[in-house]
Structure 1
């Protein structure tokens, strides 16, 4: 008998008025943030933008979705590096969201993105998780082959809907004639 809670109608968090969790990363196209902001406006929802730093580990998770984290190497104090990354991400979000009425917060998380975003979504009772597709390239293809995609991991390991925003498009033109 499976004791893990499964997706079910009674577990659906209503979309209107409930939070959205959005995975962001440095250098990500603005379309992910803009899509999330427009959806949040429509749903009158607060947005939690979050970055999960794979070079850090979670030491403690808090009920509001924040985490206490440290570097993977205890002999190397890299607090300045992650704080600079956090500040750049917040500045980029402020730039993109400057004109919108969207209510939002930023969370700097640690470890695997699927686990970190799932924890945050659970903590804020999000109705949905939004992520962008990965950028193309050989290193990205190999990584996806070995690890799978973030969207697929999220969809397989928690009950909230996952919206995947395309960040690059292959134009499939059908020749006429």
Structure 2
């Protein structure tokens, strides 16, 4: 264990909601509930939104002070401009979801681990909170959660801003079993 101290959450590090944007983690095809929840919160507080997608098939080459990044494909033999189509599709989807709102918003196409990318952006724009959705349920979800952990959990343990987690699916309490229990 290193002897360096990691800054901890505290009143002196709290970023007030008024006047500070929200960072919102988005993914292609994501349930619109995440975007709409973030928009409702931003509207209530009167702040802009920074939507952010972290492309895990790319890595960060350079981080800029405004939260943008220069990135490159992990696959050196892959087509390096496919991300531009993904960004355009995501921007169009967000524009459709935000068309009735009078909120300022931007999309940042990031790279690498989503928790680290969202933390970097939140720090750069001095965000008051980060909004993310839960993972959708499905085959392999529990194994993925066990191996990778959730973005919300990583964020809540590795940076000081509040994390607003939007539930996208709920599990009936009766369905939850201990891993060692048999049917």
Quick check: 1:105 aligned with 2:101?
no
2:24 corresponding residue in structure 1:
22
Number of matched pairs: 172
What is the TM-score of this pair, normalised by structure 2? 0.90
Runs (4 or more) in structure 1 with deviation over 3 Å come to 170-173
State the SS of the aligned residue for 1:83.
helix
Q: Distance in 1 between matches of 2:44 and 2:4?
A: 37
Displacement of 1:170 after TM fit?
3.4
Mapped to 2, the partners of 1:19 and 1:162 lie a distance apart of 13
Secondary structure of the 1:123 match is helix
Q: Does 1:35 align with 2:46?
A: no
Q: Partner residue of 2:50? A: 48
| Matching residue of 1:116 | 117
Partner SS state of residue 49, structure 1? strand
Give the TM-score of the pair, scaled to structure 1. Answer: 0.93
Q: Structure 1 residue 3: deviation in Å? A: 1.9
Return the alpha-carbon distance in structure 2 between the equivalents of residues 127 and 46 of structure 1: 11
1:47-76 Cα deviation digits (max 9, x unpaired) = 000000000000000000000000001222
Structure 2: gaps of 5 or more residues: 175-183
Q: Which runs of 5+ in 1 are unaligned?
A: none
